[in-house]
Chains A and B, each alone.
Chain A
Amino acid sequence: MAAIISAENLTKKYGELVAVDHVSFEIPAGAITGFVGPNGAGKTTTIRMLLGLVKPSAGNARILEHSIAEPEAYLPFVGAMIEGPAFYPALSGRENLRVLARLGDFPYERVEELLELVGLADRATSKFKTYSLGMKQRLGIAAALLPNPKVLILDEPVNGLDPAGIHEVRNLLRSLADSGISIFVSSHILSELEVIADHLVVVDHGKVLFQGATKDLLAAHKPRLAVKGSSPTDFRLLQDIATAAGFTSEISDEQLVVTAPESFAGELNKRAFASGITLTLLQVTRPTLEESFFEITGGEK
């Protein structure tokens, strides 16, 4: 897939502080790309540079083949919600969207379509300040969709949403991606990105630690087998079996966790039975994105 966004050595310094440190990545077209990193990793600063709001100290990026030094060339085709929804509290949801529609020269019919799409049509005349956090987020997404964008850049779009709201946004993003829109979405809710993101860019301390397909990140880490015998003394024997087969293991939460491929499960069961152990648990577990994330960022759960 061609890159719809590409960054090359993008850097932002505030005095001595390096917020974004020679970041390079490529965002494929027509996919949902997750932008992952802990707070202060440089995600929002990177997004602001992509949108022409913050000038890079060094490096460059291209969106839709235009340099970020010329934001007027690509922003008409880009929708964005940066660091949460920001609107005029005293204006209604509809008026807020109309302010932006007028500015971007989009028809008011588009405003009505989007209010309907994000489920705010019945509250369109209510003032923004009376909206719940979930409604504010949905209005932010509607504003981002105003230009019928080719690229959608969303910073923490599910922040503050309840599970139903998260589900709605997930479905919305999926359907937008299926319609051909390239989506670049940052989130600290890693389980959320695991579900929706086709690709990932992982950053920490201003540097890119991983970029590629989500499945590649997950596949890079071996699956594990959770094993439990009927007696507590079985752990020692089971550990010996795993070690003899060349796999490491550790006891965690009253289970023995063996770092081994799924194919070893049958062999383990067989050897345990031969050693007189009756297994009460034998389960294959794959590392979650969260576990993979903490592993590559060197953090702790």
Chain B
Amino acid sequence: MIRVFRSEWRKLRRPTLFAGTLGIVLGLSVLITALLFVLLDSEGGNGPRGRVITRDTLALPSGLYLGFTNFAGLLGTIALSVFAAQTALEYTNGTLRNLLVRQPKRLVLLGGKYVAMCSFALLTVIVSAIGSIGISLLLAPTKDINTDAWFTQSSFELLYSNVGNVYLSAIAYGTVGMAVGIILRSPISSISISLAWILILEGILSFTVDGLDKWLPGQLMSLIAESSGGDISYTYALAGSAIYLAIFGGIATTLFVKRDVAN
């Protein structure tokens, strides 16, 4: 599997994907975090969906990574897109047949690719965290925010746990992307259908039907990143996501192993 992992990384490190994705992740995490501080006293709010995040909230231990947490949803959609594209492109390019000739054990090939993409997702999470925390440290003094609580043991512990949860959420999204990529075998269809479901349909459904959000995979996966979800507990979100991923992953793995490679 290590050979598959290293082989996959030769593709992942191509400049357009590697530098492009990490550049976007860094740029957006810095921008979203910066808006949190720049719009601090704005009447329109400075958080997601016009939420007002006060100076006092930012001064809490969690203030250090609040911008990073706000960016978690986008990290998930980026992971989903990368996983889906990297998987489905093997079908559209016709390169899967080359890979299977060199590594006929299909489960090993799939596993190696998955682990490689999970490591890529980890990199995006780390870069995002560095960018977001860096800009927070830079802007906090300019907005008279007391950052004493940011440098405490509890703040660091929360930070590690938060980064871990954002990573879990990102690979959950990525797993869905990879599964849909295998099922549909087309990067454009895989990404557009997945994002349309998660970002649009689930949004509409969760707003229109009371209590439905606890059954929707996208909602549950995003709650993992937030570490808690109000009415829905973190454990419930984790377990619910795991069930969905087991179903998606099971179907995709079966198809990948059993299906004829005819293109």
B-binding residues in A (CB < 8 A): 48, 51-55, 71-72, 75, 78, 80, 82-84, 86-91, 95, 98-100, 102-105, 143, 146-147
A67 to chain B, nearest CB (A): 13
- Which residues from chain A contact B100 at a C-beta distance below 8 Å? 51-53
Residues in A whose Cβ lies below 8 Å from that of B89: 88
Known A100-B102, A103-B3; judge A88-B261 contact (CB<8 A): no
Q: Contact check, A88 vs B93: say whether CB atoms are below 8 A apart.
A: yes
A-B contact pairs, 10 of them (CB 8 A): A48-B261, A52-B104, A53-B100, A53-B262, A75-B104, A80-B101, A83-B94, A100-B98, A103-B4, A105-B3
With beta carbons under 8 angstroms apart, the residue of A82, A98, A103, A146 that contacts B97 is: A82
B10-18, B44-52, B165-173: which one contacts chain A?
B10-18
Q: Contact check: which of A54, A78, A98 meets B101 at CB < 8 Å?
A: A78
Task: Report if B119 contacts A (CB, 8 A).
Answer: no
- A102 in contact with B7 (CB, 8 Å): yes
Does B143 have its Cβ within 8 Å of any Cβ on chain A? no
- The B69-90 residues at the A interface (CB cut-off 8 A) are 89
New A-B contacts (20) at CB < 8 Å, excluding given A51-B101, A72-B105:
A48-B262, A51-B97, A53-B97, A53-B262, A72-B104, A75-B101, A83-B94, A86-B93, A86-B97, A86-B98, A87-B95, A90-B14, A90-B17, A91-B11, A98-B10, A100-B7, A103-B3, A103-B103, A143-B98, A146-B102
In the assembled complex, how far is the CB of residue A130 from the closest CB belonging to chain B, in whole angstroms? Answer: 14
CA distance A143 to B95 in the complex (A): 12
Main secondary structure of the interface of B (DSSP, over half): helix
A209 to chain B, nearest CB (A): 24
* CA of A300 to CA of B262, assembled, Å: 30
CA distance A250 to B237 in the complex (A): 84
A102 near B94 with CB under 8 A, answer no
Classify the interface of chain A: helix, strand, loop or mixed: loop
- Closest partner residue, chain B, to A104 (CB atom): B102
Contacts of A98 in B (CB 8 A): 10
| Contact indicator A95/B102 (Cβ below 8 Å) | no
Indicate if the CB atoms of A103 and B93 lie closer than 8 Å. no
CB nearest to B103 among chain A residues: A103
Instruction: Give bound CA distance, A51 to B99, whole Å.
Output: 11
Q: Is A91 a contact partner of B14 (Cβ separation < 8 A)?
A: yes
Interface mask (B250-263 → A, CB under 8 Å = 1, otherwise 0): 00000000001110
Q: How far is the CB of B10 from chain A (nearest CB, A)?
A: 5
How far apart are the CA atoms of A53 and B104 in the complex, in Å? Answer: 8
Contacts of B94 in A (CB 8 A): 83-84, 86
Question: Considering the chains assembled together, what is the distance between the CA atoms of A53 and B99 in angstroms?
Answer: 10
Residue numbers in B under 8 Å from A83 (CB-CB): 94, 97
B148 → A minimal CB distance (Å): 48
A72 to B106, CA, bound (A): 10
Query: For B4, what are the chain A residues with a Cβ–Cβ distance below 8 Å?
Result: 103
Question: Is there contact, CB below 8 Å, between A99 and B11?
Answer: yes
- How far apart sit A48 and B103, CA to CA, in the bound complex (Å)? 15
B97 touches A88 (CB 8 A): no
A225 to B261, CA, bound (A): 49
Give the Cβ gap from B18 to chain A, nearest Cβ, in Å. 11
5 closest A-B pairs by CB: A86-B94, A71-B104, A103-B7, A102-B7, A104-B102
Complex-state Cα separation, A78 to B97, whole angstroms? 13
Name the residue in B97, B99, B101, B261 with the highest tally of chain A Cβ atoms < 10 Å from its Cβ: B101
> Nearest-CB distance from A112 to chain B (Å)?
16
| Whole-angstrom CA separation of A89 from B16 in the bound complex | 12
Question: Bound state CA distance, A102 and B2, in angstroms?
Answer: 10
**Neighbouring B residues of A95 by C-beta, 8 Å:** 10, 14
Known: A71-B104, A80-B101, A86-B94. A55 touches B260 (CB 8 A): yes
Q: Which of B82-137 contact A (CB under 8 A)?
A: 89, 93-95, 97-105
**In the complex, what distance in Å separates the CA atom of A51 from the CA atom of B89?**
21
Query: What residues on B are CB-neighbors of A104 within 8 Å?
Result: 3, 102-103
| B:175-207 near A, CB below 8 Å | none
Q: Quick one: which of B10, B17, B105, B260 contacts A99, CB cutoff 8 A?
A: B10
Q: Which residues of A contact B95 (CB under 8 A)?
A: 86-88
Expressed in whole angstroms, the Cα–Cα distance for A88 and B104 within the complex equals 19
Q: How far is the CA of A93 from the CA of B100 in the complex (A)?
A: 19
Give every chain A residue within 8 A of B261 (Cβ-Cβ): 48, 53-54
Interface centre among B95, B98, B100 (most CB of A within 10 A): B98
CB-defined contacts of B103 to chain A, threshold 8 Å = 103-104
